[in-house]
């Protein structure tokens, strides 16, 4: 779930309980823009993508056709065959919904590649239905898959009513009522959580967790920039006591953590807990890497929601990222008696300009295709990093067909036209970007020429 997505208030989303264990031009062939080989590739990811696409088609047909319609039955069989194959080969198939994307933990913590935006709608449907995790066991059968699809349809049709209830409890009760044992929804999987992180989360729950009378699955309101800044300040203040290099005793670290929490208001702590519930620690993940990853996630989600809503303009993306990063740096100072440096490890990372540049690339890389395409066709294309532009061209070239290639050429032509703007800094940036793209094209052409000569010999 995207914690910072601006849902309407009647679309309550479930969230798990807080317990956790210059001369260059566009004349080159677009076919030369081929994506580099990623670690997340191969038949495994293709099978997963195919199964999830069939599952999405099943849910779509459930809403369009009667239960006994041939299209419904056909899509049910197709989805079952694909999911059963995955469940057998992977000894159980688990997915997790994150930031309008789907993650398969057994393959990678990165979202499943979705170049054609086919899985985004599935992720949104699952979010609206209150599904955070979905586990398909090896022994599941087609009847259970049919029941799951019907329950998802009912949950989406009755979103107003179900938003008032505890979604996790609703799913548990419904699956039990219909005797579904081979499919689990929103169940906590066993993972080893770092003991220090576990203690920190327990302290957060004690300071800002839900009281028994509060609805843990009430709709999450999108935070403002000010409320996000308070969360980032709290994360920055929690980092120094968790660093073993500081030489603090456990008692001193505990007192520092409690002092930071005591100065934070309840809403800030509760918002941080919500973010932790959406982005749980990985297996045996240490506190410092986790808090860094958490800060990156919540900043990217906030900026993505603001950009999609039109309140964050393309030329302001880099400035917004620097502003939020400065919050972590300014709040991450340490002046204790055992300090050997003035900044915590988290603040040091965020003070590095290279880290911010990489995070800016991640923002544009993972932006939904519609928003990215609008920017690449517009006058603010100069704001987009060259790596993100090349990634978009690669996806269009890989999809094949004349229309995507024409769109890629239009992107390049639009980018080249930025050489005519009055701002000298923009012209220099675009010229450098075109040179980088042209050099990579030369490498592709040289490799292709060597291959042709080899085949000729």
DSSP-derived secondary structure for 122-185: HHHHHHHTT-SEEEE-TT--HHHHHHHHHHHHHHHHTHHHHTTS-HHHHHHHHHHHTT--SEEE
Q: 136 with 93: CB under 8 angstroms?
A: yes
Closest CA to 40 of 108, 90, 89, 87: 108
Two tokens at 290?
């986790």
pLDDT score of 259:
83
Whole-model pTM? 0.64
Phi, psi values for residue 333, rounded to 5°? -70, 155
Q: 147 with 180: CB under 8 angstroms?
A: yes
Q: 112 with 119: CB under 8 angstroms?
A: yes
**Ramachandran class of 401: left when φ > 0, alpha when ψ lies in -120 to 50, beta otherwise:** left
Two tokens at 62?
């459930």
State which residues of the chain have pLDDT below 70.
1-43, 99, 157-166, 188-193, 208-222, 244-250, 334-342, 438-457
Give the whole-angstrom CA distance, residue 440 versus residue 207: 53
Half-sphere exposure of 134 (CA within 13 A, CB side): 25
Question: 98: how many CB neighbours lie within 10 A of its CB?
Answer: 21
pLDDT score of 221:
53
pLDDT score of 118:
80
């Amino acid at each position: 779930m995207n914690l910072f997505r601006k849902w309407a208030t009647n679309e309550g989303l479930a969230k798990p309980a807080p317990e956790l264990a210059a001369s260059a031009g566009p004349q080159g062939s677009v076919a030369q823009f081929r994506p580099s080989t990623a670690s997340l590739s191969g038949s495994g990811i293709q099978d997963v993508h195919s199964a999830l696409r069939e599952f999405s088609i099943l849910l779509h047909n459930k809403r369009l056709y009667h239960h006994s319609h041939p299209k419904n039955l056909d899509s049910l069989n197709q989805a079952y065959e694909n999911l059963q194959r995955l469940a057998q080969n992977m000894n159980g198939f688990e997915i997790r919904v994150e930031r309008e994307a789907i993650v398969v933990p057994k393959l990678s913590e990165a979202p499943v590649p979705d170049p054609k935006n086919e899985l985004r709608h599935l992720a949104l449907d699952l979010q609206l239905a209150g599904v955070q995790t979905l586990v398909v066991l090896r022994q599941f059968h087609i009847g259970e898959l049919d029941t799951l699809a019907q329950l998802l349809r009912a949950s989406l049709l009755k979103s107003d009513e179900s938003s008032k209830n505890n979604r996790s409890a609703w799913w548990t009760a419904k699956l039990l009522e219909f005797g579904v044992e081979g499919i689990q929804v929103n169940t906590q999987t066993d993972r080893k959580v770092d003991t220090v992180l576990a203690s920190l989360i327990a302290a957060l729950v004690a300071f800002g967790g839900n009281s028994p009378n509060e609805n843990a699955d009430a709709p999450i309101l999108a935070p403002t920039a000010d409320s996000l800044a308070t969360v980032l300040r709290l994360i920055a203040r929690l980092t120094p006591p968790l660093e073993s290099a500081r030489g603090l005793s456990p008692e001193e670290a505990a007192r520092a953590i409690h002092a930071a929490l005591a100065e934070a208001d309840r809403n800030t702590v509760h918002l941080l807990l919500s973010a932790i519930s959406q982005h749980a620690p990985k297996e045996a993940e240490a506190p410092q890497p986790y808090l860094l990853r958490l800060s990156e996630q919540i900043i990217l989600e906030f900026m993505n929601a603001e950009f999609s809503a039109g309140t964050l303009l393309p030329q302001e993306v880099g400035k917004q990222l620097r502003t939020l990063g400065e919050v972590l740096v300014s709040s991450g100072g340490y002046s204790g008696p055992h300090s050997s440096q003035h900044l915590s490890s988290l603040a040091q990372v965020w003070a590095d300009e290279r880290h911010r540049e990489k995070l800016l690339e991640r923002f544009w890389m993972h932006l939904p295709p519609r928003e990215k395409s609008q920017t690449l066709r517009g006058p603010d294309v100069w704001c987009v990093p060259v790596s993100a532009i090349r990634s978009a061209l690669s996806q269009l070239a890989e999809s094949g067909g004349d229309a995507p290639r024409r769109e890629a050429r239009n992107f390049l032509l639009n980018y080249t036209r930025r050489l005519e703007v009055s701002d000298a800094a923009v012209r220099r940036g675009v010229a450098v970007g075109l040179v980088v793209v042209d050099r990579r094209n030369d490498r592709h052409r040289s490799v292709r020429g060597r291959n042709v000569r080899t085949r000729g010999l």
